[in-house]
Amino acid sequence: MSEASETKPISRQVLEDFAAALLQAGGFSEQYAEQSAELLVWANMRGTDSHGVLRIPRYIEMVELGIVRGCAEPTVSHEFGAICRLDGNLVPGAIGMSVATKKAIGLAGTFGIGLCEISRISHSGAIGYFAEKIARTGMIGIVMSASKPLMVYHGARGEGVSTNPIAISAPAGEGQNPLIFDMSTAAVALGKIMAAKDAGHPIPPDWAVNVEGVPTTDPSKVKAVLPMAGPKGSGLSLMIEVLVSVLGGNPLISAALLEKKDNGFNGLAIAINPLAFGLPHAVVEDIAALARAIKGLPPAAGIKEVLLPGERGYLAAARRSADGIPIAAGTAKRLAEEGVKRGVAVPAEFS
């Protein structure tokens, strides 16, 4: 079967409107549905379909289960100088992380650095989205999120840690896209396994293991994903749990492993104001020079051009803006079924 027959090209606006309508019908407030849809489609636009609209049925299910409150409002639990801790009160992840990001930026404007942790939210989606928001203000961004055990801890057989991602961003000068480094601590994001399942594709044997702890190529039999670079990935994930969850007062891994409790999701946004370093010139100029230096390196054999962190995503967004977003047939089918179930008009592109 050709790639074209396995996907359906959907325009950004159609996809975003349909996503928002589905989320609202599933229990999100209108504003929260629109914000969440924007984040999901941002991921699809950049080619990160694992964190895109395929997540919608699960997001709605979480509202039905009471894991997420579609109109919850985060509250301040504690604030001290440049540090703020928020209770998400089970708010959808896109909204919770947006609140934390905005707070971190505000604190960095006052103190030179701002650190905002938010606990008890839902899946935060592609955290590069929030890192980009920070970089667009001219600041350096560091964003992380944490969840329950989903990934093998190196040397153990079953889940021990999560796929906890980290994103770092930096402004690259006027008229230039910021640098965005966004990675999961797993060999692959869990959403990519979901995407492979929707597309009917096998997965590489080094992505995940089945219930017996044996590598599998069948996405429907995945029990846990494997860490990136073995002990490096699982170690980094563990330390993100310390920074994001333990310091936030909502431990996830120990609660799951020792008490069999699911404490939800947590997130962390850090904004660093370059002006606080008192340099005689604009830091962004040096970042731009660094970007030019890397782009100027001769490509290796078989490589068309050297790409900067985040550049592949911007290139994908330009293509998808022109040609439409290719949505896996399985994902389109599930979203259409969700629309019929909830009385939401299904766009013609999904049929």
Q: Is 283:13 a contact under the CB 8 Å cutoff?
A: no
Name residue, tokens 């999120």. 145
Q: Evaluate whether 207 touches 165 at the Cβ level (below 8 Å).
A: no
**Partners of residue 183 on adjacent β-strands:** 166
CA distance 6 to 18: 20
Q: Do 331 and 57 form a contact (C-beta atoms < 8 A)?
A: no
DSSP assignment of 53-122: GGGHHHHHHHHHTTSS-TT---EEEEEETTEEEEEEEEE-HHHHHHHHHHHHHHHHHHHSEEEEEEEEE-
Q: How far apart are CA 183 and CA 139, in angstroms?
A: 20
**CB of 148 within 8 A of CB of 123?**
no
CA distances in angstroms from 41 to 17, 27, 57, 125, 247, listed in the order given? 10, 19, 15, 10, 31
Alpha-carbon gap, residue 165 to 256, rounded angstroms: 19
Q: Is position 281 annotated as part of the catalytic site? A: no
Q: List the one residue out of 116, 156, 168, 182 whose CA is nearest residue 253.
A: 156
Return the SS3 of 187: coil
Selecting among 123, 154, 201, 281, the annotated active-site residue is 123
What's the count of helices (H) and strands (E) in the chain, helices before strands?
A: 12, 13
Cα angle 306-227-170, degrees, rounded to a multiple of 5? 40
| DSSP 3-state of 269 | strand
Residues sharing a CB contact under 8 Å with residue 337, sequence separation 6 or more, in sequence order:
none
Residues annotated as part of the active site: 123
